[in-house]
Amino acid sequence: MPGGDRAPRRVAASGERADVAVGPDGAGGPVPAGTPVVVLGVTGGIAAYKAVEVCRRLVDAGVHVVPVLTEDATRFVGEVTFSALASEPVRRSLWHEADPIPHTHLGQRADLVVVVPATARFLGTYAAGIADGLLTATVLATRAPVLVCPAMHTEMWEHPAVQENLATLERRGVHVVAPAEGRLAGGDTGAGRLAEPGEIVARALALVGGGPGGDLHGRTVLVTAGGTREAIDPVRFITNRSSGKQGHAIADAAARRGASVVLVTTTSVPGPPGAAVVRVDSAAQMEEAVVARAAEADVIVMAAAVADFRPKAVADRKLSKADGLPEIVLEPTADILAEVVRRRRPGQVLVGFAAETHDVVEHAAAKLAAKGVDVIVANDVAAPGVGFDHDTNAVTILEAGGARRDVPLAPKGVVADAVLDTVAARLQADPSSAPEGSQQRSRS
């Protein structure tokens, strides 16, 4: 790579501090203090035309947008369009710019890098750490958050290689806006359609403007995870197939987005850094832990698979075959979600889960109405790659009031962010939920 170890210098103009990334050609220009700089990467997919709207909305929201187009992107959208709408002219190459190290300067200037659309090729290259162009070099050279917005045909989106690459990026802290289901190029319908520009812009603004950590800064999020274990004797217990991966993914995502996280879990998996982790085994222990902490939470996400029944009597010593066939009488466990709803305070957002094997949406809608929660996240645990012990999930998010969002098969971290997008929107819409002493900033 040409050039040396050079960093952008900071200058001030007209007595006001301004950030400038000064290359050899003076590229960059002053950015008023407090104005976020977003590098908007556009790759070569049919959904690239929607990046034009993302660019316009970001600029309208007061963001300084620097567009970076790949060579293939220009097969779908024009360079002049982005240069006209963005805050700076389009950058395209590592080699044709007057700045000998454009990726370094872009990476250092950025408060956020957003890639719209993120093709399968881009995701694979990024996950492998290959800098084969200006955009991939920039995402590798930046310490700013990176938000990728995948879009591709259904068969490509569901391919194990794509899912593994996305999971790898998520483990490294990359943010993802999951694609939607809908009409695709070629006339067919399925998962892989780029998320709507408004959703992408909302996530981007949350990452650059939501305070330290994002749109859940100042909030306390309580998450339950894992399957409870109901003792039969000192050795055996009744449980279910839940691994706790989805609950832990939600806790991790909430922490990344700035929340103070309380994680009540039956697993031995570490929680996110800084989280208060409470280890439990049984439904009774989980109920005690949740009820004791519910009043302080702004959001409660009941992702745990809590047993519906437990043995009425627990043997004080191991049951033996020599004693004959034991009779185990079951009794219902406490309904933790119902108790949380009963105790809820104004402004809290309550999220329940519904793991179903048939009539998924119908059963979830009935649970939403019966429980009185704000959101139900439903999944078909009988479907391939979905639910228990998988690294992927596919869910339908139902809200009180009738809103519905389908999240196609994706890594559980992507599903976690989709759930928290819904939560963040409900918090923002309810003035009574604002953190004490803070003013919620509206975002378009």
Instruction: Phi first, then psi: give them for residue 188, nearest 5 degrees.
Output: -90, 180
Does residue 240 carry a catalytic annotation? yes
Q: How many CB atoms sit inside 10 A of residue 212's CB?
A: 7
Residue tagged 């998010």 (tokens) = 397
Q: Beta partners for 42?
A: 69
- Residue 210 burial (10 A CB sphere; 0-12, 13-18, 19+): buried
Which one-letter DSSP state was computed for residue 298?
S
Catalytic residue, from 165, 240, 379, 393: name it: 240
Task: Give the three-class secondary structure for 435.
Answer: coil
Q: What is the DSSP letter of 226?
A: S
- The rounded distance, in Å, linking the Cα atoms of 226 and 57 is 40
Kindly list the distances between the CA atom of residue 354 and the CA atoms of 225, 248, 361, 376, in Å, as whole numbers in the listed order: 13, 17, 9, 7
CB 421 within 8 A of CB 203: yes
Cα(155)–Cα(153) distance, rounded to whole angstroms?
Answer: 6
Active site residues: 240
